[in-house]
Chain A
Amino acid sequence: MTRRISKYKRFMMMNPIIQFFKFIYLSIKVLIVVAGGHGGTRNA
């Protein structure tokens, strides 16, 4: 069954204050994935 976006979830998604903190969290999280590095797979 399809999940729905509840009114509460939508409020959380669009509230600028909550989203400001989310923005900082997301920026760091993305940076961690990017800065997490990369490498080969064949000799791993």
Chain B
Amino acid sequence: MSKIVVLGAGIAGHVAASHLRRKLSKEHEVVVVSPNGNYQWIPSNIWVGIGRMKPKDILFPLAPLYAKKHIDYKQAKAVSFHPEGDSEENKPYILAEYVTGDQKGTQERVTYDYLINATGPKLNFEATEGLSPGKNKAHSVCTYTHAQEAWIALEGLIKQMKEGKKVRILIGTGHAKSTCQGAAFEYILNVEQELRRHKVRDMAEITWISNEYNLGDFGMDGMLMSYGSNIMKSSEMVEMIFEDRGIKWILGAGVSKVEDGVAHYETLDGSYKKESYDFAMLIPSFSGHGFKAYDRSGDDITDKLFRGFMIVDADYTPKPYEEWSVQDWPETYQNPSYSNIFAPGIAFAPPHSISKPRKSKNGTDITPAPPRTGMPSGITAKLVADNIIEMIKHSNDELHHKGSMGNMGAACIASAGFGMTTGSGVSITTYPIVPDYNKYPDTHGRKLGKTFGTIGLAGHWLKLALHYAFIYKAKMKPFWWLIPE
């Protein structure tokens, strides 16, 4: 009998737990430890942030589902890692602290045979002075509560615009090393469309602020893609959309400080500037959770498990951009020191960024961090689950399931406005996610047919269809496993 503990019930953790439960017999234990009692379909937060969906539309409680499916659930957060156990506990364990109910604040050693760390990112608002959701007129859509607060503020602003107030809206990244530009891109287009729907578009100046060097970089070094019968750069595509929607842009900007209605930022040319706004949505930087790890004798071994995020089978040797290769990226998400620990989704430490790193004249790193979107999070979680299942069933340590972001495609269906007949979506697929310049030297490291973009109403329908399909899948309804990650 084996016990698999999954930390986190986001896209990666939930995918891993559900596949483990489906494929392993009941003699094996699957335990999920996660502080948020709800599963949330994060991509639809964008629509919560414009008031077109309510938080209840994008979440459901985990406890009843897990009880029904025989997954043991602890509403707790992991505090520290003890991969060798300690003097009192022979088995490896994580220390978890309950976050709710009578047990709130109590800690428990949760032992395991296999551990999946799928704790995603810490939303590191503190890294930018003054940036905190709902403060200084700056908001976030990274969680459903943040998105709901953003909508309340935006709704208030729309009211003022209807009364004749001219406003400035600033949307983008809130730190020099933020990631998730795609989410901010979706939000700016949705906000723009909502203002048109409310007939107040002419009352707002909308500006995109980002740490990207070019528009459409998305933390992926941009893309060369097929667009209809043309070949287009993602920068050209996004520029075309922004021009069409009357959105201004500021690039190569590392936001360092936010005051009431003012964002201070540094640009790559070394100048310090500020932008005022009446409403902002700025994506914070993402970081690891700051977990500590200890060996059997209680000595600190955090360096063996973490470098911010969790260390996996990546090549972390520092090297210049010109020498980066797809082989640097992990394939199995297994920790090299402890073969029973894995980290799929955002929880793994990437070897480096995907976008070309750039420093300002003052030496500030202004480079998008690499995104790990929903699809790779799900795929990596499933392959980790499959490897663990094989390790259990065949009692060997060989890992047959591999999935490098350098040999994996991703679909990014970015909402560009909500509405069954008026909505729009920017649909982009990329293969591979991490460009392979050896394999595809002439097409910016990507395969053209599989890297394509298109804009239109169908994109909105697809995004909406995915919303329902993935919530259906997450609820583990009949044949849920037929829906791919």
Smallest Cβ-Cβ distance to B424: which chain A residue: A13
Contact A23–B461 (Cβ < 8 Å): yes
In the docked arrangement, what's the CA distance between A12 and B485, Å?
30
Contact A41–B331 (Cβ < 8 Å): yes
Contact A38–B421 (Cβ < 8 Å): no
Please classify the interface of chain A as helix (H, G, I), strand (E, B), loop, or mixed, using the class held by over half of its residues: helix
Interface residues as binary, B389-419 with A (CB distance below 8 Å gives 1, 0 otherwise): 0000000000000111011111101000000
Given A14-B457, A22-B458, A41-B327, also A30-B427 (CB < 8 A)? yes
Contact B407–A14 (Cβ < 8 Å): no
A24 nearest CB across to chain B (Å): 8
B431 within 8 A of A: yes
Given A26-B458, A30-B427, A33-B429, also A39-B403 (CB < 8 A)? yes
Within the complex, which residue of B244, B411, B436 is in contact with A4, where a contact is CB–CB below 8 Å?
Answer: B244
Smallest Cβ-Cβ distance to B403: which chain A residue: A38
A23 nearest CB across to chain B (Å): 4
In the docked arrangement, what's the CA distance between A35 and B436, Å?
20
In residues 14-44 of chain A, which contact B (Cβ within 8 Å)?
14-16, 19-20, 22-23, 25-27, 29-36, 38-42, 44
Within the complex, which residue of B411, B454, B462 is in contact with A34, where a contact is CB–CB below 8 Å?
Answer: B411
Across-interface contacts of A42 in B (CB, < 8 A): 327, 331, 404
Across-interface contacts of B409 in A (CB, < 8 A): 33-34, 36, 38
Given A2-B243, A16-B421, A19-B456, also A41-B427 (CB < 8 A)? no
Across-interface contacts of A35 in B (CB, < 8 A): 484
Interface residues as binary, B224-241 with A (CB distance below 8 Å gives 1, 0 otherwise): 000000001000100111
Q: Please report the number of residue pairs spanning A and B whose Cβ atoms sit closer than 8 angstroms.
A: 102
A3 nearest CB across to chain B (Å): 4
B326 within 8 A of A: yes
Contact B431–A26 (Cβ < 8 Å): no
B87 nearest CB across to chain A (Å): 39
Across-interface contacts of A26 in B (CB, < 8 A): 427, 454, 458-459, 462
Smallest Cβ-Cβ distance to B436: which chain A residue: A41
Contact B484–A5 (Cβ < 8 Å): no
Smallest Cβ-Cβ distance to A15: which chain B residue: B457
Across-interface contacts of B241 in A (CB, < 8 A): 5
Contact A4–B243 (Cβ < 8 Å): yes
Please classify the interface of chain B as helix (H, G, I), strand (E, B), loop, or mixed, using the class held by over half of its residues: mixed
Contact B456–A13 (Cβ < 8 Å): yes
Given A16-B457, A19-B461, A26-B427, also A2-B450 (CB < 8 A)? no
Contact A38–B411 (Cβ < 8 Å): no
B379 within 8 A of A: yes
Contact B457–A30 (Cβ < 8 Å): no
B375 nearest CB across to chain A (Å): 7
Contact A33–B411 (Cβ < 8 Å): yes
In residues 424-444 of chain B, which contact A (Cβ within 8 Å)?
424, 427, 429, 431, 436
In residues 75-115 of chain B, which contact A (Cβ within 8 Å)?
none
A44 nearest CB across to chain B (Å): 7
Given A13-B424, A20-B458, A42-B331, also A34-B375 (CB < 8 A)? yes
Find the residue from A16, A29, A31, A41 having the highest chain B CB count within 10 A. Answer: A41
B1 nearest CB across to chain A (Å): 31
Given A33-B411, A41-B436, A42-B331, also A3-B236 (CB < 8 A)? yes
Contact B408–A38 (Cβ < 8 Å): yes
Across-interface contacts of A20 in B (CB, < 8 A): 458
Across-interface contacts of A23 in B (CB, < 8 A): 458, 461-462
B455 within 8 A of A: yes
Across-interface contacts of B240 in A (CB, < 8 A): 2-5
B213 within 8 A of A: no
Contact B244–A13 (Cβ < 8 Å): no
B125 nearest CB across to chain A (Å): 33
11 A-B Cβ contacts within 8 A?
A2-B243, A3-B239, A4-B240, A5-B455, A14-B422, A14-B424, A19-B457, A23-B458, A23-B461, A38-B379, A38-B402
Q: A3-B239, A40-B407, A42-B331 known; 12 other A-B pairs, CB under 8 Å? A: A5-B240, A14-B456, A15-B457, A20-B458, A26-B427, A26-B454, A30-B413, A31-B484, A33-B411, A38-B383, A38-B403, A40-B403
Chain A residues within CB distance 8 Å of chain B? 2-5, 12-16, 19-20, 22-23, 25-27, 29-36, 38-42, 44
Chain B residues within CB distance 8 Å of chain A? 232, 236, 239-241, 243-244, 326-327, 329, 331, 375, 379, 383, 402-404, 406-411, 413, 421-422, 424, 427, 429, 431, 436, 450, 452, 454-459, 461-462, 465, 484-485
Q: Which 8 A-B pairs have CB atoms at the shortest separation, nearest pair first?
A: A13-B456, A40-B402, A38-B408, A22-B458, A33-B409, A23-B458, A38-B403, A19-B457
